[in-house]
Structure 1
């Protein structure tokens, strides 16, 4: 994507300074951050190495596997399905995927999928990370799963099931896999091919950043009360660097450049991908309650948690996006028309870097901050 930064020099300078500081201090090893303001690229900073083994440097064109931050791409495809008339938010999943109605799930709708209220937050226990590359096997297992609550009555983070739920509905509605829809509906029209992926072509694998764990992964501890399996809850560099995982279409996670995914959200904000009425609908509060997986208070739009990391509650209605395990972060703000993305190589158990960069961005782009 050949695009130069429209200079908001103080923002660009501050973002670059923070990235350089974090790498110099050893807190991070490789990062990207990108910011669009009213459709213009106003921040595009990188620092450090994409691969510590070779010393290859991060550039704006380096894609990063960014775990659940990729759900912004999945969710957008769902909204584009609605925009095209393939289905509506209240279309029952079984209208397209009859097998999904097993065990009382026949009332589940796309709205329930997007608000993580279907009731199948965890992968069936016979599905492990190695099975994620087998689309039919995973979808069959999810279709046959017993819901942990009646669809639409509670919410709980659907970590890996989310992408397969959206993806199978999309496949049955269009006859196309998610990677193809992402290319045809998003990257090709926006001119950002090579920036966003569900399943990375093998020829592009050498371009990717190589992830690293911030500390040795602790041994798995059995928790009889945990809904998600340990591998669903804890990101690992081994998963994110796996050739098989990277090549597979797994729309619960995604690979992207910060600049590419921020460009995508900028296009959603300014009407190039969805119109203003749909944008208003999809960013309104759609479900609020206690997350059954993590126990926190959840405030969800259609497919996105609402609110910016570290923001005051009065900002919650205008910002939407996704964090990714290990510290990556993507958000957009309908009030300021700002789109932000940050991704990195070092997987940390916190979002300190994301919050620091997002705070800087909000302060520079929101005159009322």
Structure 2
């Protein structure tokens, strides 16, 4: 059987089953001190402007401390299997997403190493051999975690750089082609308007074809507009908005089969946000159109809303087949699509709009199938 990367890394740092037993023993000793260690860890990070900026200052630290407690729990209790490896990989990818320089992560990891070793020394005072063995086991698992996160960070960073290069090329092409297409489309629209006023339009068959031409011209114009929206910074119309009203307005543009239910929960209790209602409406329309097409003739699309201390969280779920593993990591890139006739602009545009509003979107599937998107929008100061 081919050795996995995780198995190779465990062999490289010398992590053995005996180390796992020592770590589980350490877990029982230090678990009550986890909250205090988390306080020390983030106090060190927030002291440095670069790291604090990447983590959005203190606003996200409460949530991140909870994640750190879970990380420490898994670190010392295991099991140290492939699921453990994947969880550590996700941490490396998260560091890329928030643009956290790795030297901050390496330095902060040393804080954890020091805190744990102080507790080991305190608990095993007078037992030098036991202290040494447990400290070595701790060093192995921390080095293993660092190796996994750095490997994933490097992979994702290189992939991100490649995406940026593709997007730059894409933007240059779109800017040129999009504006060139506007002219012939404008001519077609003008000629179509003239033809509709002529006797030819009274012929039922001719009128049907004229209508089809008009529909296709409108579709082509929308595609061009979406392409240009991907590369230009349209000014945001910052104003107060209620997501419930924006959602209801977006529903009027989404045509779902009779067997598909579209429902929302919790929007009425959300506080007022600040942003561009037109662009947030486009977010809802794009996501709902994708979901409706994925569901087919029968199924459901549900939006649920909640609040966190500094953000509104929206979860859009559908009962369709979900997104394949092969597509997930590139689904927010332009021109990546699984839809017949689609060109892959809906999700990239959603991501761009949300990021311009200081928000985010991620694909977070749960057990049971179906697609599940989690959106976050920042709450304005003193929101009500």
Give the TM-score normalised by the residue count of structure 2. 0.24
Greater RCO (CA < 8 Å, at least 6 residues apart):
1
Task: Judging by fraction of residues, say which structure has more strand.
Answer: 1
Task: Judging by fraction of residues, say which structure has more helix.
Answer: 2
Q: Which has the larger radius of gyration?
A: 2
